[in-house]
Amino acid sequence: MPDIAWPDGLSPYKVMFYLQPHVGGQESPLTRTRKTYGLSAPRWVARLTFKAGHGYDDDGLSCRFGPRADDAMFFAARLDALIAQLKGGLQVIRFHDFRRPRPQSYLTLYSPAMTVNAASAGDNSIVINREPGAVGPSIGDYIGGDGRPHLVTDVSPKLGSMMSKAGPDGKITLTFEPPLSADIDQDAELEIERVTAPFELTSEDAGQNEGEIGAPIDYVLEFSEKMP
């Protein structure tokens, strides 16, 4: 089944979105020294919370033109339909971290678009090409290119403490986590806005929606990334 894109206008009011490592370990019963080791690749985990109303278009002048996907008064019906589509985790949906949909500095989005040098699966750094002196991504921004988000952990050269700025050669090196899961072609455009991950619901009971009649209720949906 093709992935579903997140519906326009359906925005949570609380978001949890983080990279979950997969780590194992053993602790010595004598010294309590703990040895840890990585088991497999990290994955993105998310929780989205919505304040959802059960509205009708005869509830007042403000909503006499039918339900709208961007109106929280009608979120409950929209979420019920979406949860049914997701089939308890069988259907994949793509969405970004709603808290940071774009780079932190508006200067990063100034044209022309940034391109990248070729990179291989497993790399955790990439060189981007920018006009000399132009501002690039900052530490904490999301970048894409292989179908999943990557969190920038360091930049070079730096402008201040978090931003990047292209040197005379127009190059910026970004370090990020998690490592790339696929190769990226030479001169591909750098994805820096609304970088989405493929998510699956973690529960078959995500549609439980008990609430007081006539009052908005919280919908809490938990997701884990579908790994490549």
pLDDT tens by residue, 164-175: 999 999 999 999
pLDDT of residue 58: 58
> CA–CA separation, 10 vs 12, rounded Å?
7
SS3 of 134, please? coil
- Domain extents in the chain: 4-98+198-225, 106-193
Which class does domain 106-193 fall in?
mainly beta
pLDDT tens by residue, 29-77: 777 777 776 667 899 999 999 998 876 665 555 555 677 778 888 899 9
> CA–CA separation, 173 vs 154, rounded Å?
8
Low-confidence residues of the chain: pLDDT under 70: 24-25, 28, 37-39, 55-65
